[in-house]
C-alpha cells in the first residue's frame, strides 16, 4: 500500500515539474497528467474531463433514515391489508323484512278478535297455528305468511281473513356481529355466527358482498353488510421508520423484507428496490422515503493555499470552484490559475488535472471548472509553484485520507528533472 502511494507521489512530483515549467509562461485551459503519458492539453475536449456526480451512490458505513407511508382515506384505489381495522354494520334492502327464528308475531282475525294470538318462531323456523298445525315461517315476509295462513283456514272458520304483524324481531344474531374487527396476520376476520372471511388483498366492497351473501343465505333475509375502514395499518408501517447503517457487506436489514443489498445504488434505486420488495407483504402501494444522514465517502478534500483547508461534504454537481469557495477561497499567496485536482475514477485509477480557475471567474470558461466526485482532492498551490517539497508536505500531512503515522521516505530536495 505504501509503495503504491509513493508511486503516486512521484507521479505528482513529476506533474508538478511540468506544471512549474508551464507556469512560467502562464497556464490556460486544462491539463491532464496520467501515469505513463506526457501531459495532455484538454481544453474543450470534454471526453477527457472528470464526470463528477449528479447523484450519490451508497457505500458501506453510510447512514440513512427510512420512512414508509401507506394508503390514505383520500385515495380511490384501496385493498384491505393485514392490520387494518374495519367497522361492520348491517341494514335491510327494499324495506322487505323476512321472518327469522326468534321473531315474535301477532295474528289478528278481522271477523273475531277472540281468535287473535301471539307466537314466536322456533329455532327450526316453524310455528304452530290452531286448526292448521305446523307451518314453516322463517324466510317469508309477514304479508306472504299472512296469506298462507288465511288460505289454510278457509273452510275451517268463518271469514278467515287475518292481519299478521311483527311484534319483535330477533336481532341478537345480527347485532352480535356488528362492530370493529382487525384483520389478522393470516389475512382473515372471524365473525360470530357466520364464521371466517378472507379480507387481506381484496377491496372493502368485495368483502361487503361476500359477507352479505353469507348473511342472506344464513337468515333467509335481505340483510346487507356495510364496511368502513377505520385504520390503515399505520402501526404496521411504523416498523420501517428507522435509522440504518449500511453493513460492511453493503446491505441493510428491514422488517418482513430481510436483507437488501444497497451498496453502489443511488437513493432513488434503493427506494424502488424497497417498494418492490414490499409488494410481497402489502396489497397497496407503499411510499418509501429515504434521507441520507451521513456518508463518510461523500466528501472532498481541499488543501493548499486556502483559508480553511479540510474535508467538505460533496453535493451533487459540485465543482472545484464551489469547493474552493466553501474553504474560504484562496489566500493572497494562492494561485487558482494553477489549481490541481487529484481524482480516482470508478476503477481506482489515479488522474491528476491542472486547471485555471481564474479563467472560469474572469472569462466564464465553465469547462475548466472541473466536476468533483467522492474523495477528490483539490490543491491550490503557492503563486509560481515555488516549493514543490512544500506541496508534498501539505499533501501528506493535511489532505490525504490515510494515516499520518506511516513512514514516508521522500527526498526533501527532489531532483524534479528525474
Residue 19 scores a pLDDT above 50: no
User: What residue spans in the chain does CATH classification 3.10.560.10 cover?
Assistant: 2-56+298-399
List, as own/partner pairs, every contact residues 270-278 make where C-beta atoms lie below 8 angstroms and the sequence separation is at least 24, other chains included.
270/58, 270/64, 274/66, 278/68
Can you give the pLDDT at residue 159? Answer: 87
| Domain spanning 2-56+298-399: CATH superfamily | Outer membrane lipoprotein wza domain like (3.10.560.10)
Residue 241 scores a pLDDT above 50: yes
Can you give the pLDDT at residue 76? Answer: 64
CA separation for the pair 27, 355 (Å, rounded) = 8
Highest CATH level, class, for 85-96+173-231: alpha beta
Residue 51 scores a pLDDT above 50: yes
Q: What is the pLDDT of residues 95-137, one digit of tens each?
A: 678 888 899 999 999 888 888 999 999 989 899 988 888 999 9
| CATH pick for 104-168 out of 3.40.50.2300, 3.30.1950.10, 3.40.50.720, 3.40.50.10490 | 3.30.1950.10
User: Looking at residues 5-26, what average pLDDT do you find?
Assistant: 46
What is the three-class DSSP state of 117? strand
Cell readout for 262 is 444497497
Under a CB-based contact definition with an 8 Å cutoff, are residues 87 and 230 in contact?
A: yes
Can you give the pLDDT at residue 407? Answer: 30
CA separation for the pair 269, 60 (Å, rounded) = 16
Can you give the pLDDT at residue 174? Answer: 86
Mean predicted lDDT score pLDDT of the chain: 80
User: Looking at residues 8-24, what average pLDDT do you find?
Assistant: 45
Residue 28 confidence class, pLDDT cut points 50, 70, 90: confident
Torsion of CA 261, 264, 266, 271, to 10 degrees: 0
Residue 408 confidence class, pLDDT cut points 50, 70, 90: very low
User: What residue spans in the chain does CATH classification 3.30.1950.10 cover?
Assistant: 63-72+236-294, 85-96+173-231, 104-168
φ/ψ of 7, rounded to 5, equals -60, -45
Q: What is the per-residue burial (b if ≥16 Cβ within 10 Å, else e) of 278-315?
A: beeebbbebebebeeeebebbebbbbbbbeebeebebe
CA gyration radius for the chain?
Answer: 42
Residue 36 scores a pLDDT above 80: no
Residue 60 confidence class, pLDDT cut points 50, 70, 90: confident
CA separation for the pair 375, 46 (Å, rounded) = 21
Which contiguous run of DSSP H or E holds residue 152?
Answer: helix 142-153
Q: What percent of the chain has pLDDT over 70?
A: 78
The bridge status of strand 299-304 relative to strand 377-380 is parallel
Report the residue count for the chain: 418
Residue 307 confidence class, pLDDT cut points 50, 70, 90: very high
Of 69-78, 125-134, 283-292, the least confident: 69-78
Question: Is the model's pTM score more than 0.85?
Answer: no
Residue 41 confidence class, pLDDT cut points 50, 70, 90: low
Of 143-152, 174-183, 311-320, the least confident: 311-320
Residue 24 scores a pLDDT above 70: no
| CATH pick for 63-72+236-294 out of 3.40.50.1980, 3.40.50.300, 3.30.1950.10, 1.10.3720.10 | 3.30.1950.10
Q: Which stretches of 70-199 are assigned E, i.e. beta strand?
A: 85-92, 104-109, 117-120, 126-129, 133-136, 162-168, 179-182, 188-191, 195-198
Can you give the pLDDT at residue 95? Answer: 65
Amino acid at each position: 500500500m505504501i509503495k503504491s502511494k509513493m508511486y503516486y507521489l512521484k507521479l505528482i512530483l513529476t506533474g508538478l515539474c511540468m506544471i512549474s515549467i508551464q507556469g512560467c509562461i502562464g497556464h490556460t485551459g486544462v491539463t491532464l497528467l496520467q501515469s505513463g503519458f506526457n501531459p495532455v492539453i484538454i481544453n474543450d475536449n470534454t471526453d477527457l474531463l472528470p464526470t463528477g456526480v449528479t447523484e450519490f451512490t451508497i457505500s458501506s458505513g453510510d447512514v440513512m433514515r427510512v420512512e414508509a407511508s401507506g394508503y390514505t382515506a383520500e385515495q380511490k384505489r384501496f385493498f384491505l391489508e393485514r392490520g387494518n381495522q374495519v367497522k361492520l354494520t348491517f341494514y335491510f334492502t327494499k324495506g322487505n323484512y323476512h321472518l327469522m327464528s326468534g321473531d315474535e308475531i301477532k295474528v289478528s282475525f278481522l271477523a273475531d278478535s277472540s281468535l287473535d294470538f301471539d307466537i314466536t318462531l322456533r329455532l327450526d323456523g316453524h310455528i304452530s297455528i290452531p286448526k292448521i298445525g305446523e307451518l314453516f315461517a322463517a324466510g317469508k315476509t309477514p304479508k306472504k305468511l299472512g296469506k298462507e295462513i288465511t288460505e289454510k283456514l278457509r273452510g275451517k272458520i268463518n271469514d278467515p281473513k287475518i292481519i299478521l304483524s311483527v311484534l319483535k324481531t330477533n336481532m341478537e344474531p345480527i347485532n352480535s356481529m356488528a362492530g370493529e374487527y382487525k384483520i389478522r396476520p393470516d389475512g382473515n376476520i372471524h365473525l360470530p355466527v357466520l364464521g371466517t372471511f378472507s379480507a387481506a388483498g381484496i377491496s372493502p366492497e368485495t368483502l361487503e358482498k361476500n359477507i352479505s351473501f353469507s348473511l342472506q343465505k344464513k337468515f333467509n333475509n335481505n340483510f346487507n353488510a356495510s364496511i368502513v375502514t377505520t385504520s390503515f395499518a399505520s402501526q404496521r408501517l411504523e416498523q420501517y421508520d428507522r435509522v440504518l447503517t449500511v453493513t460492511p457487506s453493503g446491505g441493510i436489514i428491514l422488517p418482513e423484507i430481510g436483507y437488501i443489498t444497497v451498496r453502489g445504488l443511488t437513493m432513488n434505486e434503493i427506494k424502488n428496490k424497497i417498494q418492490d420488495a414490499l409488494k410481497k407483504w402489502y396489497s397497496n402501494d407503499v411510499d418509501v422515503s429515504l434521507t441520507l444522514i451521513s456518508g463518510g465517502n461523500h466528501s472532498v478534500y481541499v488543501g493548499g493555499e486556502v483559508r480553511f483547508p479540510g474535508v467538505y461534504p460533496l453535493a451533487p454537481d459540485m465543482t472545484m470552484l464551489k469547493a474552493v469557495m466553501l474553504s474560504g477561497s484562496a489566500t493572497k499567496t494562492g494561485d487558482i490559475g494553477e489549481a490541481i485536482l487529484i481524482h480516482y475514477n470508478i476503477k481506482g485509477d489515479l488522474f491528476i488535472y491542472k486547471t485555471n480557475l481564474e479563467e472560469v471567474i474572469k472569462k466564464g470558461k465553465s469547462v475548466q471548472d472541473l466536476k468533483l466526485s467522492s474523495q477528490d482532492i483539490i490543491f491550490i498551490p503557492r503563486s509560481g509553484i515555488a516549493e514543490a517539497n512544500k506541496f508534498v508536505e501539505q499533501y501528506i500531512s493535511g489532505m490525504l485520507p490515510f494515516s499520518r503515522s506511516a513512514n514516508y521516505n521522500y527526498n526533501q530536495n527532489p531532483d524534479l528533472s528525474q
